[in-house]
Structure 1
Amino acid sequence: MPANIRIGISGWTYKPWRGAFYPKGLGIKRELSFAAEVFRSIEVNGTFYGLQRPSTFERWAEETPDDFLFSVKGPRFLTHIKRLREPLPPLANFFASGVLKLGGKLGPLLWQFPPSFQFDEKLFEDFLKLLPADSDAAAHLSRKHDERMNGRAFLGTGRDHALRHAVEIRHESFLVPAFVDLLRHHKVAFVIADTVSYPCRMDLTADDFVYCRLHGSEELYRSRYAPEALERWAKRVKAWTSGRAMKDGRFIAPTRADRKKRDVFLYFDNTDKLHAPEDAQFLMRLLGQEPGGQEISVDTMRTATEGHARA
């Protein structure tokens, strides 16, 4: 079975996008469905800032195509405030908030840690052990929620399916083989985060998928990616999905190529301007994910872009 490529954006509710990426006059309530027709996956940010309700997840699922996947960001209350101390209640609350209402549209779960969070092997291993491997395990975990979720918890599962987890770190202390070994043991993806501010490494730790976040390599959350940079990412994606060795970049604990074909989830987080949707669509075209499915070259894209700018 061929590996799947899902290029998307981080979040979808941004005022500067209205009248630009989003057509003028498109209602705010229609922005998700519009974006989901362009991209095959979107990273949900709202779950990072606060617990949502089951009805919200249900509505998101209804507004998106059948083949669409959400990546859902875990709560900062667990990663930034509690800093993994006493993780069970906030983790249970998160799953009880309705995440499983997404059903088969639930893609990877993203756990992002702050720049001040340093690697503690025991603490981190205890957290990874708690992460549910499938929706049934997540439903069981959700039943351990605290009183804050009383009356608003969703504890059902529907059809059982596997869950994927990805971890994004932002402190140099994680750049050690012990951390990579932990992720590989638990089959959790190391987030390949391209940014000027935080460490970027290319280690593959999950058996069947790769998770990338492109935050802007020159100015955090703002700078666009040049055509040549996007072509470089396209080559990396092709290597990961074909099972070929990908040697472009820096690694913590490089291993021999395992020839595993991995799905790729790649999200553009340079959202403060209009660059995220533009860059995502550019990369999709380089990978043949535009109508017709034919890959095009950077030179062709540059010519088309310059012609559009002169028009």
Structure 2
Amino acid sequence: MRAREEHDLPIIATAGWSIPKNVAGSFETEGSNLTRYASVFNGVEINSTFHRRHRKSTFARWAAAVPARFRFAVKMPKTITHTHALKDVAKPFRTFLEDIAPLGEKRGPLLCQLPPSLPFDAGVLDSAFQAIRDCCDGPIVIEARHKSWAAAEALELLKAYAVDRVFADPALVWEAGEFEGAPRYLRLHGKPKTYYSNYTANEIRSFSGMVASDGWCVFDNTASGAAIENALTMLGDP
């Protein structure tokens, strides 16, 4: 099966590149799981960076395993988002950037996923993203999970630092109608059972029409293998 070309954007992806046996026939038969995954999809979201550091050689190996047009969205470590709660993030963020540097031009958006317990604080957000932008001018997206992040001041600060809001499903903070334009990053966690539930064909069609033409749509309902099935459906390969 051919992979999506650059002019076919948005990027349809999953969190991780596990390929369940029931859809294995949609992918190349040879190579690593990542190489096989990249024979169909143009991007993937790396979630494992949230939990632990990887060697630079690991990122170099991943970058070498995929075509030039392939992109990796990378989740920021929980030391930044949860342990530090966005405070004093300059050093851990620089370390994170150094770790993932071997991805080179194949690095896509950096994902900042916040815990549900973290409320919006203008001073903290301002300091955090000033430190982040001092060493990174690439695309950054944020998935907030505390209702206070719906405040107008939060939206203004995120816009000032060119940080795109994630449209998440289920939507805990920002509903689809609250985006000025088409969301540039969708994270679909599955519902009613988060990380497990499959989406229907109609739901997938709706999400497909929602995402920006240069955006990402990431299926994160990976626990039951639904993510890759849903992503293939969106891609046009049921």
The TM-score bracket by the shorter chain reads 0.7 to 0.9
Q: More displaced, 227-236 or 109-118?
A: 227-236
Instruction: Give the aligned partner of residue 160 of structure 2.
Output: 185
Alignment of 1:17-28 (within 5 A): 17-22=19-24
Larger-gyration structure (1/2): 1
Structure 1 stretches of 4+ moved >2 Å: 1-4, 17-23, 198-205
Distance in 1 of aligned mates of 2:102 and 2:133: 16
Q: TM-score, normalising length from structure 1?
A: 0.68
Amino acid at match of 1:106: R
| Counterpart for residue 31 of structure 1 | 33
Partner of 1:72: 74
Letter matched to residue 9 of structure 2: N
- How does 1:48-197 map onto structure 2 within 5 Å? 48-97=50-99, 99-132=100-133, 137-138=135-136, 163-195=138-170
Alpha-carbon distance in 1 for matches of 2:199, 2:182: 27
CA contact (8 A) 1:204 1:210 kept: no
CA distance in 2, matches of 1:191, 1:65: 26
State yes or no: 1:9 paired with 2:14: yes
Contact 1:125–1:182 (Cα < 8 Å) also in 2: yes
CA contact (8 A) 1:164 1:188 kept: yes
Name the Cα RMSD after superposition. 2.5
Could you tell me how far apart the structure 2 residues matched to 1:6 and 1:280 are? Answer: 10
Q: Secondary structure at the match of 1:86?
A: coil
Counterpart of 2:133 in 1: which secondary structure?
coil
What is the alpha-carbon distance in structure 1 between the residues aligned to residue 115 and residue 126 of structure 2? 17
Q: Deviations over 1:168-209 (max 9, x none)?
A: 11111111111111111111100111127x33423447x997
Q: CA deviation at 1:129?
A: 1.1
What corresponds to 2:197 in structure 1?
223
Aligned to 1:211: 185
1:116 and 1:184 map into 2 onto residues whose CA distance is: 23
Q: Would you say the 8 A contact 1:189–1:204 is kept in 2?
A: no
Find the aligned partners of 1:68 and 1:166 in 2 and give their Cα distance: 18
Q: Distance in 1 between matches of 2:218 and 2:49?
A: 16
Amino acid paired to 1:268:
F
1:217: how far off? 2.8
CA contact (8 A) 1:194 1:200 kept: no
1:245-299 Cα deviation digits (max 9, x unpaired) = xxxxxxxxxxxxxxxxxx11110000011210111111122xxxx6xxxxxxxxx
1:81 Cα offset (Å) = 1.0
Q: Do 1:22 and 1:31's aligned partners in 2 also have CA atoms closer than 8 Å?
A: no
Partners of 1:18 and 1:3 in 2: how far apart?
A: 25
The separation in 1 between residues aligned to 2:182 and 2:189, in whole angstroms, is 23
Assess if the C-alpha contact under 8 Å between 1:45 and 1:72 holds in 2.
yes
- Report the 3-state secondary structure (helix = DSSP H, G, I; strand = E; otherwise coil) of the residue aligned with 1:235: helix
- 2:97 and 2:42 map into 1 onto residues whose CA distance is 23
Query: Residue 132 of structure 1: CA displacement?
Result: 3.4
Q: 1: distance between equivalents of 2:37 and 2:55?
A: 22
